Amino acid sequence: MNGDHERILDEYLATEERSPVRREFLGGEVFAMGGARPAHNVVTSRLTAEMDAALRGRPCLVFSADQRVHLEATEDDCYPDPVVTCEPPRFVPPAPDSLVNPTAIFEVVSPTTESWDRGGKFTLYQSIPSLALYVLVDPARRRVEWYTRVEGSDAWLYRSAAGDTPARLDPLGVTLVPDTLFAALDLLPPDEGPISQGRG
């Protein structure tokens, strides 16, 4: 890590807790994350609740979208949507809020973040040794897509599900049904599309 990168990272960590908005540190730059639209918030809330219920009683922790994740290989810090760890959680000092060893990361995509979530951000996440599952939840298409790390390799297996077809998230032993996950969207006004602002 070069001097400028380290200095900016130290400044970011020192000020993040006082920041009125969440910010990600990516590639030596700080990116503010804008507020999300109601559809994004509804799906994220429902997803977190379903994961928490499905994993209750097991040695797994489900974190909300406010949980920062630190990528040790690249010295980046980001805020996914729900995050799950099924290992004893490890946090990197001097920022004790930064989780280092997630088992699963979820991103609720929107038109403004989809290409980043599918491309650059997934590439960054693949550097996390503990990560076994990456899940993209798409409210606009009402589809769940997930990548499972092939054990002992750098390859990832892609699957998707929509409607009443179950999404079997094998690394967690959890099944999500898209129709159930997205049902609450029908309660929103039609103009409240699943759009969020900001890079994250």
> Which residues are CB-neighbours of 181 under 8 A, at least 6 positions away?
43, 46, 47, 50, 137, 144
Q: How confident is the model at residue 139 (pLDDT cuts 50, 70, 90)?
A: very high
Q: Using one digit for the tens of pLDDT, what is the confidence trace for 36-67?
A: 788 999 999 999 999 999 999 999 999 998 89
How many CB atoms within 10 Å of residue 33? 18
Is the pLDDT at 198 greater than 70? The verdict is: no
Q: How far apart are CA 98 and CA 93, in angstroms?
A: 8
Domain annotation for the chain: domains and CATH numbers: 38-187 (3.90.1570.10)
N-to-C CA span, the chain? 23
Q: What residue type is 11 in one-letter code?
A: E
Higher pLDDT, 137 or 198: 137
Is the pLDDT at 199 greater than 50? The verdict is: no
Specify whether the CB–CB gap between 4 and 30 falls below 8 A: no
- Count of alpha carbons within 13 angstroms of residue 60, beta-carbon side: 22
Higher pLDDT, 26 or 35: 26
Q: Using one digit for the tens of pLDDT, what is the confidence trace for 5-26?
A: 777 677 777 777 777 677 777 7
Q: Which residue in this structure is represented by tokens 């929509």? A: 162
Q: Using one digit for the tens of pLDDT, what is the confidence trace for 64-102?
A: 988 999 999 988 888 899 999 999 999 987 666 899 999
Peptide bond into 38 cis (omega under 30): no
Mean of pLDDT values over 178-197: 78
Comparing 2-6, 90-94, 147-151, the range with the smallest average pLDDT is 2-6
